[in-house]
């Protein structure tokens, strides 16, 4: 029996330019507790990245605030010079005063500094996909998005994405720049951003769900999710990923981990084929 790889998740082309396998990797967990400081085992984190690449993952999502800086540094240490087909997305727009603390900063001057720092850490001349991490309530959203458009015009960013946005904020951003991706919280148990996903699907914008593995009470023993997972000899989290991949053709899940064993488990979800009845059951119980 062959090992499933990310190629079985299908592909999506960001902005009509960068084609990736739909099951990617989120690099937030390559840090210490509270997404702060060094991970417990830096070498294991680098091994995770290399194993993900071996398993067909060619889309990695990170941010300058993860660590801060640590996640980007580890990606460069592990993978640079990068494979030709690897797309690295990063984000700017948060300040990190301490573990578990996240302060929005969407000032254009901060976003420029954050982007240029990410360029240096990732050892690239242009960032494939740069995302505004969060709207800053103290800065007009147009100014924040406009800063990314300026960086794109200068050749420092190839494609622009936004994160943690409403339908209205997405529309605002699209009036200023071409937006190729939206990264919002979305999973089997939390579908509060369904409207934003539908908007992305209508217009061919990639939708990157963060916190994709959440299953919560749905994973209780003997429940429908547990039974579906058992029928596929899979874990509830693997089924949750398989459901995301079937939910929409623009869906780009980025499960993260700092364990080689766990990254192998996550990628194997791409090989799970859910039946129509199973899809209906999962959609019904999550709703």
Question: Which residues are designated catalytic?
Answer: 66
Pairwise CA distance, residues 229 & 213, whole Å: 14
182 Rama class: left (phi>0) / alpha (psi -120 to 50) / beta: beta
The contacts of residue 117 (CB under 8 Å, 6+ apart) are 64, 69
- At 279, is the secondary structure helix, strand, or coil? helix
The contacts of residue 214 (CB under 8 Å, 6+ apart) are 187, 188, 189, 190, 240
Residue 71 neighbours by CB distance under 10 Å: 27
Please, are residues 52 and 263 in contact by the beta-carbon 8 Å criterion? yes
């Amino acid at each position: 029996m062959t090992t499933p790889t990310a190629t079985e998740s299908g592909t999506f082309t960001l902005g009509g330019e960068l084609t990736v396998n739909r099951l990617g990797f989120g690099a937030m967990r390559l840090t210490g507790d509270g997404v702060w400081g060094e991970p417990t085992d830096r070498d294991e984190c680098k091994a995770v990245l290399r194993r993900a690449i071996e398993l067909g993952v060619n889309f990695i999502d990170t941010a300058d605030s993860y660590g801060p800086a640590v996640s980007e540094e580890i990606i460069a240490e592990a993978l640079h010079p990068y494979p030709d087909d690897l797309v690295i997305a990063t984000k700017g727009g948060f300040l990190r005063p301490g573990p578990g603390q996240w302060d929005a900063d969407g000032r254009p001057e901060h976003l420029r500094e954050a982007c240029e720092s990410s360029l240096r850490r990732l050892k690239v001349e242009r960032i494939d996909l740069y995302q505004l991490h969060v709207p800053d309530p103290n800065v007009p959203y147009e100014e924040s998005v406009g800063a990314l458009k300026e960086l794109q015009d200068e050749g420092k960013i190839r494609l622009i994405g936004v994160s943690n946005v409403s339908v209205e904020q997405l529309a605002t951003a699209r009036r200023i720049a071409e937006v190729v991706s939206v990264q919002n919280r979305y999973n089997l148990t939390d579908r509060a951003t369904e409207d934003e996903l539908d908007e992305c699907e209508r217009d061919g914008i990639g939708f990157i769900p963060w916190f994709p593995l959440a299953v919560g009470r749905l994973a209780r023993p003997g429940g429908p999710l547990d039974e579906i997972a058992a029928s596929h000899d899979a874990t509830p989290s693997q089924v949750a990923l398989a459901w995301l991949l079937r939910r929409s053709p623009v869906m780009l899940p980025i499960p993260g981990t700092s364990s080689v064993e766990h990254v192998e488990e996550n990628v194997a979800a791409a090989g799970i084929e859910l039946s129509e009845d199973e899809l209906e059951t999962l959609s019904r119980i999550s709703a």
